[in-house]
Amino acid sequence: MIRLLLLLFAGYGVVMSAIFARRGARPTAASPSDRGARAPIRKILIIGATGGTGRELVKQGLAQGYEVAAFVRDPAKLQTTHPQLQIVRGDVLDDAAVEAAVRGQDAVLSSLGHRRLFVPSRTQSEGTRNVIRAMETHGVRRFICETALGLGSSAGKLGLFATFFFLPVVLPIYFWDKSRQEKLVAESRLDWVLVRPGVLTNEAPRGTYCHGHDVGSYISTGRVSRADVADFMLRQLNEDTYLHAAPGIVW
């Protein structure tokens, strides 16, 4: 009986991984932008600025000299003040609020997420749809979006534990919507990069990490700090190495 249950559980994990592989983005290779020379990026909008990665994006973006607009539902949750920081209150599901926030920006970075893991939600996909629509309307091209290893072309690369337990048991609803989010980004006309981190931690940044299309393991679970993910995302603002691609990132 135990052996049968284990086989059924393993089969369920394989099926869910196959679903996430099919539903997530599967870019084959980075492709250059067709926009030619572009103006320097100075003004950036951060979606999900009160989350773990979002806070790091705000802090590091300001330290690097960007004019940062932080889009948040509750400004009280972002205890940061800076002459180049603008806090924009709004809900990512409010199309008009998102459009107003995107207008006048040079680029958008998204670390959108939520903690309602067991409740069906389209916050990530519908919120991202609003962001994409607003960017295309106002001619804002560069979009750096945080998703996760285990989706699309990286299915299974969060390791055995995540593939056969954590994703199919704890995060199936969350990843279902995140796979929709990836598809929307990949099908857009933007200059996008999907950043797929391993398991996120709050540890101090190391400054060195592995990134690329082959990052991740089918056996062990890769980790990376939110601070290092933010560093990598900000680098993508002015680099085209992973344009129209979905690099993974782990330590």
Cα Rg of the chain (Å, integer): 18
Residue 4 domain flag: no
How far is residue 53's CA from residue 173's CA, in Å, rounded to a whole number? Answer: 21
More confident residue, 77 or 33: 77
Residue 31 pLDDT level (bands cut at 50, 70, 90): low
Residue 8 domain flag: no
Residue 13 domain flag: no
pLDDT above 70 for 17: no
pLDDT above 80 for 206: yes
pLDDT of residue 81: 93
Give the residue-averaged pLDDT of 221-231.
Answer: 97
More confident residue, 19 or 124: 124
Question: Average pLDDT, whole number, for the chain?
Answer: 90
Residue 7 pLDDT level (bands cut at 50, 70, 90): low
Give the residue-averaged pLDDT of 86-100.
Answer: 98
Residue 15 domain flag: no
Of the listed ranges 27-41, 72-86, 187-201, the one predicted with least confidence? 27-41
With pLDDT > 90 as the criterion, what percentage of the chain qualifies?
75
How far is residue 216's CA from residue 196's CA, in Å, rounded to a whole number? Answer: 10
**CA nearest to 70, candidates 92, 51, 48:** 48
pLDDT of residue 216: 94
Residue 166 domain flag: yes
Q: Angle between the 226-235 and 52-63 helix axes, to the nearest 10 degrees?
A: 50
More confident residue, 203 or 26: 203
Residue 24 domain flag: no
pLDDT above 70 for 34: no
> SS3 of 168, please?
helix
pLDDT of residue 117: 73
- 143 is in which domain, residue-wise? 40-250
pLDDT above 70 for 151: yes
pLDDT of residue 9: 55
Q: How many domains does the chain have?
A: 1
pLDDT of residue 114: 81
pLDDT digits (tens, 9 = 90+) for 35-61: 556 789 999 999 999 999 999 999 999
Instruction: Tell me the pairing of strands 142-146 and 107-110.
Output: parallel
pLDDT of residue 5: 60
pLDDT of residue 16: 65
CATH code where residue 222 lies: 3.40.50.720
pLDDT of residue 4: 61
pLDDT above 90 for 208: yes
Residue 158 pLDDT level (bands cut at 50, 70, 90): very high
Residue 67 domain flag: yes
Chain centre distance of CA 201: 15
Residue 119 domain flag: yes
Name 217's bridge partners. Answer: 158
More confident residue, 109 or 31: 109
